[in-house]
Structure formats: structure tokens, C-alpha cells
Amino acid sequence: MSSWFDYTVNGLIIGNIYALLAVGLALIFGVSRLINFAHGSVYVVGAYAGFLAVTQFGTPLPLTIVIVVAVGALLGLAIERFGLRPLQGYAHIAPLLATIGISFVLDQLVQLTFSPDPRALPSELLQKRFQIGSGTIGALDILIAAIGIGSAGLLYYFLRFTRLGWAVRATAQDRDAAQQMGVDVDAVNRTVFAIASALGAVSGLLVGMYYNYIDPSMSFQATLKGVVAQVVGGVGNVPGAIAGSMLLGLVESYGIALFGTSYRNLFAFILLIVVLVLRPNGLFASRRQTPPEPMTGTFIAPSKPVQISPRTLLAIALAAALLPLVLPNPYVLQTLTNAWLYGLLGLSLTLIAGTVGLISLGHAALLAIGGYASALLSLDLGMPVGLSILLAGVIAAALGTLLVFPSFRLRGHYLSIATLAIGEIVSLVILNWDSLTRGPIGVSGIPPLSLFGFELDTDRSVYWFALGVLVVLAALQFRLLRSHLGRTLRAMRDDDIAARSYGIGLDRYKALAFAVGSFAAGVSGGITAHLYSYINHETFNSQLSILALTIVILGGMGNVTGAILGSVLLVGLPEVFRVAAEYRVLIYGIVLLLLVRFRPQGLLGTV
Amino acid sequence: MTTALSAPASQPAEALLSLEGINTFYGPVQVHFDLSLQVGRGHIVCLLGGNASGKSTTMKIILGLVKPASGIVRFADETITGLPTPQIVRRGVGSVPEARRLFGEMSVRENLLMGAFTRKDQRAIAQDLDRVLGLFPKLAERLTQRAGTLSGGEQQMVAMARALMSRPKLICMDEPTMGLSPLWVDRVLDLIAAINREGVTVFMVEQNASLALEIAHHAYVLQTGRIVLEGPAEKLRTDPRIRDAYLGGQESS
């Protein structure tokens, strides 16, 4: 019994921490219809600000909290100023992508400043525990609960009884009408970002103290948890976000009690998918409530694509094929091979996100499925490597489509969140399904690439293999875009209701496109596995998903040539200039930010 | 181009609002071509026109929601072109937006008080609330109800009452009769006339020309971004060109 008491207390405490995150996300979504993916970065910055204050200056707890609140609020203002305000009037997905870029930049800056190694965040409160009945409760638990409840109370007072609070509520309900009542909606936005970020930063500090552990990679998980809690409670709904957080905390805590720590996130994301599919407005939305305005996920900046004649493309492909004969430098060849493999990923995402308009934020999962499929088929079943890669593509297509199918009814941001969660679920299943995937140990001794019994053991042969696969799949995709099917897919992207009223079965076509796209990604993952000879659940991580999206936007959404060019530029160039790995993610973040702001149609234009 | 009628019966003595030479673009599409109009103090002026004639955009120009490429908006002897919307509202422009646009999750009372957002004089606000409820007695019964649950006509009353709460010199109304039943259309028009009798100048955009002209003093007819007809309402009521303007007759094109 006592352990259940402890698990409940633990769940509620974690729930409080999530609530501090989720409430901020809900406020921001309310006034600006934006899911702020930089929220986790604010949380990390808050944790490190607290760490710096405590370890360097020995600040007492109240002062530390004040410092963290101030740092968080200032950071929130900066995010609003640079990430959101310049993008007013852009497509809804634009600020979302901008916040992803900002989060990459912030996380990487934290990592460069404080090193990726975890730090301890000491707190004198950690040791104190009180006996309650048969269970115990810590002083820190009480502090966290007090801060959670206190913030909720202050927020309630602010929203109900202050002028600015009224302005926030009015803006959330109707931005234009609020403006016509004389509300300065920019000021409302700034206020909300400052409040939300201050709460998020405090959340980071409290988590750091609770676990006596902080590291820069907490950011992404924090964003995800906040988003999950928010969606569960109903996007943009402040009380719902608090309830959703408590529910999430309890589900996780009981889940750990029953199954073990490595399942924690699995429960969170499964809860998210279930809520998204069954009750997209959240568990606590009243039935009467109209759904939030539909947000189309398309990020298609209208543009005239750069015309490249088939002859030129052929010449470029030929030049690429002849390159190893002219320049047999193994470093260049390996780099370009890598770029071709990312090019395959780009082809996949440019079809799904660009042509069909389903902005997938979990694309790396397809690589992982392909990689594991090919590795295990060749290792455990002794299948020849060429065939296993082909099958890996098929398995990725089948499994990927199956997983995402229930989410096809979602639109805009919701679909993106679902894909993000599915990506995380895939990676967690790989981690936990020991008997099949060898769990955290990973798969080693994957046989090298070979084709029809000939081993591809030179850099040159691997280069040609990757290039060959890329050219074939790119040619097929060109063909597809020109076909009736390609036109149908674009029609769905541009206006799904109109497309449906012309008799297009949306789900089927989405599934078809997703399967075709997933095949390319699966093949890419399969080849990669054999090149690396070792993979584990972190080989294809969520950063790759965002890199894929950046590649696709850089090239121009839906643009086949653009996807390949994007991957050569983003994967090849940093390698050629030998940019240190930790700066690369920083560069990706900055490139993404600049693209969204200044060239949303990409280099070669959207198709 | 502009066809002024010969005998201005009720020419405004003094313009509270004037638009001079407005040109507006949505991307490459030009919405207004050298648009000029005046709203006399104390009058009801209506801007008539069919779909896509630029009526609602005119409203947005006045409120500062859309910025014109060129031209001047003057209100109460002051140039307000390019000012942010809240600043324009603070100078005494109230609005009843198209399709009401109430704050659906807030109560009727909260909606009305939002109308007084720019004011800080709590006691006067409370008095105005009473005054407005005197004008719209039906709303007094609905004060605690969520605004989103009211009927279309009641919502229109809330929207008008909300606009009055800022003590505006001018109220801009975008299609106040849109989507209302015939009974409510008459009621709303009566209320607009009543508001006007209290000394508030009204600028309204309407598609329903014959009804709007019954209460207006002066009217303009807008067609694809140009004023094609203007004059005192009683003259326009019988003018065959009104019909031509709507049906795209030869004279007006």
C-alpha cells in the first residue's frame, strides 16, 4: 500500500511539473495558435540558469527562483520577437517550424556552453522527508506542489480579474475582434510568452532539483511532455492543460510501477495518440464547443519552381556517376554517399510533406524501421543483403502506413504532433522489445552491403550503389508527380474538402502516398544499417526527422531535385568544410529559421 | 466615375471621418481605386455594394486592420492613416465587426465590458453599462449567459452594445443585418437609428440597399473598388442606378 501512496504522490508531483510546462503551451496556443516547440529549450535554459546561480553564486532558493523566472521571461520575449512576430500572416506551420529552429539553436548553445555532460543541481531540500501515515513526502515535493498550485492560482486571478488577463482571454477567442476593442494584441503576445516561459523555466529548475540531474537533451522530452499534457486536456485550454498534466503524471508513475522505467515515455505517447484519434479536442472539451479552427498543415509558399530540363538532370546524374573515376578521394565519396542516402530520406519526406501536405515530424522512425528490418533479416534469417534492403523498404512502407493511418483524419498541427509521437513510439518499442531488436544493446555485426553475391567493399562501389538507388527512385517520383495520381495528391493538399467532393477518397490516397514515400525512407535506413554495421535505438533519432524537414524545405517542398540538392547542401557541405559535429545542429537550426523567414519556397521552389 | 446627384438635400456640414484617395492592394490585386468618401458628424452613412466590391476592406482601412498603399484617413480633424488599430479605437472609433465576432466563451457581461477596454473610469463604465442595457433591455436577462449560446439577433445586439461601451464618436458596422431573420433585420435597423439619435455617428457597410437607405442620411455605392454613385439617402432610394449598380448595368461599368 505504501508504495502505491508513493507512486501517487510521485505522479502528482511530476504532474505539477508538466503542468507548469503545459499551461504555458496552452496560453501561447490560445493567443497565437502556435505550438511552441521551443518551450522545452526554455525549460533547459531555466534549469541551467538555476544551476549557474546555485553553483557559482550560492544563491538561496527564493533568489534562485526569482532569477530563473526573470531569465525565462526574457527568453520568452526574445522568442516572441524573433520567432513569431516577423511571421505574422505566414502559413500557420511557419511559426511552428521557426520555434523548432529556435529550439535547436538554444539547445545547442546550452550544450556548447555547459558541455553535453549531465550536471548535478544540488538542493538542500532534497534530503528532508516527512512521514505521512505509512508513506513519506519530501520537502521538495511540497515545494513543487506549492509552486504548481500557487502559479495556477495566480494565473486564474490574472486571467479573471486583471485588464491584461481579460485582453489575453479575448485575444485567444477572437484576435481581430479583440483588436477592434482596442486591445494591443502584440502586447498580449509578449505578455503571454513572458509568463509561459517564466513558468517553463521554473519547471526546468524544479525538475533539476527533483532528480538532482540536468542535461541539455532534456529539452526535447520536456516539449513533448508538455504537448502531450496539453493535447490530452484540449489544446489551448488552460484548466484542461493542468488536468491533462496530472493525468499524464499519474499514468506515467503507475506505468513505471507496473512495467519499469523504460516504459514511461511509451505510456505518454500512447495516451497522446489515443486522445488525438478519439478525442482530438481533448478529454475535457465540452461537447458544445466548436473545434479549434482547422489549421491546414500545408507549408506551400506559392512559387514558380525553377525549371531544370530533363537533359540537364541527366547530365548532372551522369557527372555524379563519373565522379569516382575523376576524383577517387574516399572522403569525398563517403560524404556524397551519405548525402545520397539523406537524399532518399528527402525524396520520401518531400512527397509526404510537400506533395501531400502531411508535415511529418517523425520521419526518422521510417529509417529506423528500414534499418532494423534489413539488419535483422540478413542477420537472423541469413537473407542476402540486396533482398533484405528491398524488403526493408516494403516493411517500412507497410508498417509506417499502418501506424499513421488512424491519424489521417487529423489536420495541420495535430497530424504533425501525431507523427512526432509515432516516431517516439517506434523508437521506444525498439528499445523495449529485447527479444526482437536486442533492446538497448543494439544490433552489431550487420553484414556489409552486397548485391547478387558481390560484396560492395570499396567506397566507389558503395557510392555507385547509393547513387543508383537514388536516381531510380527519383525518376519514379518524377513520373508519379506528372501522373494523374500526382495531380490528385496536390489537389488534396490544396483543398481537401474540394478534393473530397470530387470523389477522391482521402485516406486511401494519403496511405498510398505515405507508402510510396516510406519505401524510399526504409531503403535509405536499410542501406545505412549495412554501412554502419551497428545500429541501436538512437541511431535514427528525432533530430534526423527535423534535419529531413530542413532538407526538404531548403530544396522546396514537393520538389524532387530540391530534396537531393538540399541534402547535398546540408549533409555534404558541413562535412566538406569539416564543421565540428556540435556546430552542425546549430547550423541546421539557423538554416531552418532563415528559410522559414526569408525563403519559405526553398531554393528550387515548391511544386 | 463618381456621379454626384444634382440636389444635395442633406449635405453634411462637417465631416467626422473622411477617406481621401485611398488605393489598397491585396498582393497584386487592387481593391480600392482612388476611393474618397466622407461621413458627416451625427449622420448615418452607408456604403452599399455587391460582393467583392471592397466594402469590408473599406471598413478595415478605417479601423487600421489593413493599411492602404496610398491615401489619407482623417478622423476628427486628425490623420489616422497607418495608426495601429488599438490607437484608432482609443480615438473614438467603435466597431461592430462582420458576423458579430463576439467572444463566445465569455459571458455577455464580460463581452460588454470588453467593449470598454480602452477606458479606465470604472464608475462611468458601470453607468454606461446601465445605459446600454436600457437601450437593449433583452440583454439584461442574459448577462451571465455565454455569448456563444445566444441567437444571431441577440448576438447582434451584444455586438452593438459592446461597441457603444467605448463611448465612440463613430461606430463602424459591417453588414449588421447579415444572416438575420426579417423580423430581426427591422429591429436591428431601428436600434441603429436609436443609437444615432443618441448622437453617435454611424458608418455602415450593407448589401441590403433598400433597407439600409431607409435609415441612412447619406450613401455611397461601391463597385469593384470605385465609388460609382453617391448622394442623400432619400434620393438614392428611388434612383434606378442603384439597381444598375447591383446588377452591373451598363451605366456604371
Size of chain B in residues: 253
pLDDT above 70 for B181: yes
Answer yes or no: do B89 and A182 touch at CB < 8 A: yes
Q: Does any domain span residue A132?
A: yes
Query: Does the CB of A503 have a partner CB in chain B at under 8 Å?
Result: no
Instruction: Note whether B128 and B28 are same-domain residues.
Output: no
R_g over Cα of chain B: 18
Residue of A nearest to B110 (CA): A166
A148 and A246 in a common domain:
yes
Best mutation target among B114, B118, B156 (most A Cβ atoms within 10 Å) is B114
All three cell numbers of A415, joined, read: 497530424
CATH code: domain of residue A178 = 1.10.3470
Chain A positions in Cβ-Cβ contact with residue B65 (cut-off 8 Å): 176, 179-180
Residue A300: inside a domain, yes or no? no
Q: Which residue has the cell 516516431?
A: A423
Helix axis angle for A139-161 and A238-259, nearest 10°, is 160
Q: Are B181 and B156 members of one domain?
A: no
Give the integer Cα–Cα distance in Å for B219 and B223.
13
pLDDT of residue B249: 45
Alpha-carbon dihedral of residues A70, A72, A78, A83, nearest 10 degrees?
Answer: -160
| A110 and A230 housed in the same domain | yes
Using a CB-CB cut-off of 8 Å, the residues of chain A touching B83 are: none
| B21: closest CA of chain A, how far (Å) | 24
Global pTM value: 0.85
In this predicted structure, what is the pLDDT of residue B4? 42
Last residue of one domain, picked from the residues B166, B191, B206? B166
Question: Is B86 in contact with A174 (Cβ distance < 8 A)?
Answer: no
ipTM of the complex: 0.84
Question: If we measure between CA atoms, which residue out of A510, A193, A146 comes closest to residue A356?
Answer: A510
Instruction: Look up residue A535 and give its three cell numbers.
Output: 545500429
- Residue A605: inside a domain: no
Cβ of residue B122 closer than 8 Å to a chain A Cβ: no
A272 and A346 belong to one structural domain = no
Nearest to B85 among A163, A169, A180 (CB): A180
Q: Are B183 and B220 within one domain?
A: yes
Residues A226 and A334 reside in one and the same domain: no
- Tell whether A178 lies on the interface with B, counting CB pairs under 8 A: yes
In this structure, the answer to whether residues B55 and B145 fall within a common structural domain is no
Q: Are residues A334 and A207 in the same domain?
A: no
- Give contacts of B95 with chain A, Cβ < 8 Å: 180
A163/B117 touch (CB, cutoff 8 Å), yes or no: yes
- Residue keyed to cell 456604403: B47
Beta pairing partners, B226: B223
Count of domains for chain B: 2
Neighboring chain A residues of B101 at a CB cutoff of 8 Å: 174, 176-177, 180
**B177 within some domain:** yes
Confidence (pLDDT) at B6: 38
CB-nearest partner of A181 from B65, B84, B114: B114
Shortest CA distance from A159: residue in chain B? B106
Residues of chain A short of pLDDT 70, as ranges, are: 1-2, 125-126, 285-302
For residue B148, the chain A residue with the least C-alpha distance is A289
Total domain count, chain A: 2
User: Would an 8 Å CB–CB cutoff place B25 in contact with chain A?
Assistant: no
Q: Is the residue at B214 inside a domain? A: yes
Same domain (yes/no): A22, A120:
yes
Q: Which residues of A touch B166 (CB under 8 A)?
A: 181-182
In whole angstroms, how far apart are CA A603 and each of A552, A562, A599, B62, B138? 10, 7, 8, 39, 59
Nearest to A455 by CA among A385, A535, A372, A522: A385
| Structural element, H or E, at residue A243 | helix A238-259
For chain A, what percentages of helix, strand and coil (3-state, to nearest 5) are there? 75, 5, 20
From A172, which residue of chain B is nearest by alpha-carbon distance? B103
Partner residue opposite B97 with nearest CB, options A177, A183, A184: A177
pLDDT at B8: 41
Chains A, B: CB contacts under 8 A, how many?
A: 59
Q: Are A18 and A248 in contact (CB under 8 A)?
A: yes
Q: Is A182 on the interface with B (CB under 8 A)?
A: yes
- Final residue before a domain boundary, out of B166, B182, B208: B166
**Could you identify the residue written with the cell 516527512?**
A130
Check whether residue A151 and residue A212 sit in a common domain: yes
Does one domain contain both A397 and A490?
yes
Q: Which of A539, A561, A581 is the last residue of a domain?
A: A539
Partners of A288 on chain B (C-beta within 8 Å) are: 149
**Is A180 near chain B, with CB under 8 Å?**
yes
From chain B, the residues in CB contact with A167 under 8 A are 117
The pLDDT score that the predictor gives to residue A292 is 47
Q: Pick the residue from chain B with its C-alpha nearest to A181.
A: B115
Closest CA to B106 of B150, B63, B147, B46: B147
Chain B 70-109, residues with CB within 8 Å of chain A CB atoms = 84-86, 89-90, 95, 97, 101-106
Residue with cell 450613401: B219
Q: Which residues of chain B are within 8 Å of residue A178 when distances are taken between CB atoms?
A: 103, 114
How many CB atoms are located within 10 Å of the residue B245 CB? 25
| DSSP string for residues in B12-46 | -SSEEEEEEEEEEEETTEEEEEEEEEEEETT-EEE
Q: Are residues B225 and B206 in the same domain?
A: yes
Which residue, of B111, B136, B166, is where some domain finishes? B166
A263 Rama class: left (phi>0) / alpha (psi -120 to 50) / beta:
alpha
Residues B162 and B230 in one domain: no
Cβ of residue A184 closer than 8 Å to a chain B Cβ? yes
Q: How far away is chain A from the Cα of B79, in angstroms, using its nearest Cα?
A: 18
A238 — contact with chain B (CB < 8 Å)?
A: no
Please, what is the average pLDDT of chain B?
86
Q: Does A90 touch chain B (CB under 8 A)?
A: no
Judge if B58 and B79 occupy the same domain.
yes
B4 is a domain residue: no
Do A176 and B101 count as a contact with CB atoms less than 8 A apart? yes
Question: Is A181 within 8 Å of B102 when comparing Cβ atoms?
Answer: no
Cβ of B65 within 8 Å of Cβ of A179? The answer is: yes
* Yes or no, beta carbons of A173 and B84 under 8 Å apart: no
Q: Shortest CB distance from B117 goes to which of A167, A173, A176?
A: A167
Q: Which of A489, A505, A539 is the last residue of a domain?
A: A539
Residue B24 phi/psi, 5-degree rounding, is: -125, 145
Q: Which residue has the cell 504522490?
A: A9
B4-18 per-residue burial string, b: 16 or more CB within 10 A, e: under 16: eeeeeeeebeebbbe
Structure confidence at residue A250 (pLDDT): 93
Considering the domain boundaries, does residue A208 fall inside one?
yes
Q: Which structural domain, as residue segments, surrounds residue B153?
A: 101-166
Closest CA in chain B for residue A185: B86
Residues A264 and A366 reside in one and the same domain: no
> Are both B129 and B149 inside the same structural domain?
yes
Residues B37, B51, single domain; the answer is yes
Say if residue B153 is in the same domain as residue B175. no
My answer on whether B109 and B198 are in the same domain is no
Subunit contact A182:B95, Cβ cutoff 8 A: no
**CA of A173, closest CA in chain B: separation in Å?**
6
In terms of domains, do B74 and B174 share one?
Answer: yes
- Binding-face residues of A in 276-305 toward B, CB within 8 A: 288
Is B9 part of a structural domain of the chain? Answer: no
* pLDDT tens digit sequence for B94-144: 999 888 889 988 999 999 999 999 988 889 999 999 989 988 888 899 999
User: Which residue range(s) make up the domain with A433?
Assistant: 329-539
Q: Which of A90, A163, A173, A180 to mutate to test the interface with B (most CBs of B within 10 A)?
A: A180
CATH code: domain of residue B235: 3.40.50.300
3-state secondary structure of B222: strand
Extract the runs of DSSP E, i.e. beta strands, from A146-186: none
**Residues A273, A342: one domain?**
no
A163: contact with B, CB 8 A cutoff: yes
Express each pLDDT in B7-47 by its tens digit. 344 444 588 999 999 999 987 889 999 999 999 999 999 99
